[in-house]
Structure 1
């Protein structure tokens, strides 16, 4: 669990921001999937268009088109990669680290880091070490190290 890696301060803050917004990111993934799977077509000309047997139509295979759109959406892939890295890290770390993630990032409720340390029954320096290890593991999984 000892990761001796120096992250850039901006990278550290960005990953912490992703941890704070983890639950919102999961909701955004669901919204993005819904947008891709159920696109809204504003073109009023196509609402009541009736095509005859000899008219030019789009090729079939709607399932393949849908899967292609889901797989090729860059924003969706990035969001899923971040959530996957956080989930994987959360499942990999010890219960002390999990408590820091839960109380320090997900359920902070305006607590300072000193209050989070007291709540988790660890010293502030231990909490700082846990935070660094958590963020470093996520950075490695995403490839931002």
Structure 2
């Protein structure tokens, strides 16, 4: 069963997406860490006026708005979230035997070869690699990568 008719990604993009699949759980941890850093005020505003004297021209702070703005504008956080969202979306949309393949190959912490993945999924090795290619192509298409 073919899931996509999208254009196959370039070899470098293919490898990049596979690396993102392997590092998916670490990426989710990194997102949580970055969010916590932003929420706890790890990124300070560049305000040199620390004295806040009586003639200070400061305006009252709006910490909630600043934090929300940082969460929305942090490029690294947004990029990681976009990758995780794409993987989640594709994972949720593929049939169960594709999910099983993703779990075994990318998320099991075992270094299975594709022939072993195929045996675990009860499919021919060519079918397993076609499934791999389709999943990578779907993720690339979702991310707008070529």
- TM-score in terms of structure 2 length: 0.87
- 2:31 and 2:77 in contact (8 A); partners too: yes
Question: Residue by residue, what CA displacement relative to the aligned partner does 1:61-98 show, whole Å, maximum 9, x if unpaired?
Answer: 21111110111100000000000000000000001110
Which residue is equivalent to 1:62?
63
* Structure 2 portions without partners, runs of 5+: none
Residues 1-145 of structure 1 aligned to structure 2 (within 5 Å): 1-40=3-42, 51=52, 55-145=56-146
Between the two proteins, the alignment pairs up a number of residues equal to 140
Question: Residue by residue, what CA displacement relative to the aligned partner does 1:48-69 show, whole Å, maximum 9, x if unpaired?
Answer: x6x5665333432211111101
In structure 2, how many angstroms separate the alpha carbons of the residues matched to 1:2 and 1:140? 9
- TM-score in terms of structure 1 length: 0.88
Root mean square deviation of aligned Cα? 2.0
Structure 1 stretch displaced more, 12-21 or 1-10:
1-10
* Structure 1 portions without partners, runs of 5+: none
Question: Residue by residue, what CA displacement relative to the aligned partner does 1:27-62 show, whole Å, maximum 9, x if unpaired?
Answer: 000001111111346xxx95xx6x566533343221
